[in-house]
Amino acid sequence: MRIEKKATLVSSSTAALLVIIKMVVGLMSGSIAILASAIDSFLDLLVSIFNYFALSQSEKKADDIFNFGRGKLEAIAAVMEGTIISISGLFIAYNAVQKLMHPKDIAYMDLSLIVMGISIVLTTALVLFLMKVAKKTGNLVIRADALHYKTDLYTNGAILVALGVIHFTDYEIVDPLLGIGIAIYMIYSAYPIIKEGFLMLMDISLESEEIEKINHYLREQKDINGFHHLSTRRSGSDIFLTVHVVFNISISLFDAHRISDNLEEGLDQLFEDERVHTIIHMDPYDDSDINDEH
């Protein structure tokens, strides 16, 4: 099993545990902040389950129906995750406003503090694990999941502080005000997730640093006279490259093909943790100006 799928299973299990704990204590205490966190954890669970499905499908090989694979399912999952975060933020804001209009004291304060402390410990461990996996694989779904749970960590910390303030000062208004703050932060954090997913769906090119790495590799090759028209895009954990490579006009097709195979292997090694699909157009001379005109 790929480490990305294992990561989604870990996040799903953690989210399920947090949902049960927070929902029970939130309903007992009447805290909007804890209920908001419980709802967010429930959505985390749904998203993590969908992410597992998306990763399972995206790793399938290309076939007659999906000639380029199903990698964009990862981008769709990221967009859905960001959208769900935004919707849950709006729902939390609505409930917070309702509590401002109809105040209600928080019960079971000590239990609420303990629950949020446990939540912070579990979420911190999960974030560190997801960030490690995201750094190793560069997977968009795992990066989105790590960012999502990182926002949970911040909001859980804020809730713990707010409950402490209420415990010692009896300023109950802190709870709904914090709920509104959490909602705003959730919507704000969802934007980059949605944006990156949409950009991948629109076939945005690789990062400039990655493109420069490719250019540097090709410039160092002694068996070719040059290259042009480098195009790149990312689809999930797959990278697609096309490039025109200029050979000596007298080279044989056999030698040109052999060199092209070596170039493909070298480009694969530039992105060890991702699948690279390279298409090399072999030019007997530099026709970049001719192609630019068309």
Q: pLDDT digit string (tens) for 118-142?
A: 888 888 998 899 888 888 877 777 8
Considering the chain, what is the average pLDDT of its residues?
A: 82
Tokens of 50: 């969908």
Number of domains in the chain: 2
Q: Do 134 and 195 lie in a common domain?
A: yes
Range(s) of the domain holding residue 252: 208-293
Q: Which of 150, 185, 201 is the last residue of a domain?
A: 201
Q: Do 181 and 216 lie in a common domain?
A: no
Pairing of strands 238-246, 226-235: antiparallel
Q: Do 145 and 188 lie in a common domain?
A: yes
Q: Do 33 and 136 lie in a common domain?
A: yes
Q: Do 125 and 23 lie in a common domain?
A: yes
Q: Do 197 and 213 lie in a common domain?
A: no
Q: Which of 201, 219, 237 is the last residue of a domain?
A: 201
Tokens of 15: 């989210």
Q: Do 197 and 275 lie in a common domain?
A: no
Q: Are 116 and 160 in contact (CB under 8 A)?
A: yes
Instruction: Give φ, ψ of 281 to 5 degrees.
Output: -95, 120
Q: Do 121 and 190 lie in a common domain?
A: yes
Element (H, E) at 145: helix 140-169
Q: Do 71 and 124 lie in a common domain?
A: yes
Span 68-87, pLDDT tens digits: 888 788 788 888 878 887 88
Tokens of 140: 């968009």
Q: Do 163 and 48 lie in a common domain?
A: yes
Question: Which CATH number fits the domain that encloses residue 249?
Answer: 3.30.70.1350
Q: Are 123 and 156 in contact (CB under 8 A)?
A: yes
Stated pTM of the model: 0.68
Quick one: CA torsion of 77, 80, 81, 86, rounded to 10 degrees?
Answer: 170
Comparison of pLDDT for 260 and 145, the residue scoring more: 260
Q: Which of 176, 201, 226 is the last residue of a domain?
A: 201
Question: Which CATH number fits the domain that encloses residue 44?
Answer: 1.20.1510.10
The reported pLDDT for the residue numbered 259 is 95
Q: Is 182 exposed, middle or buried (0-12, 13-18, 19+ CB in 10 A)?
A: buried
Residue 294: pLDDT band (50, 70, 90) is very low
Q: Do 155 and 240 lie in a common domain?
A: no
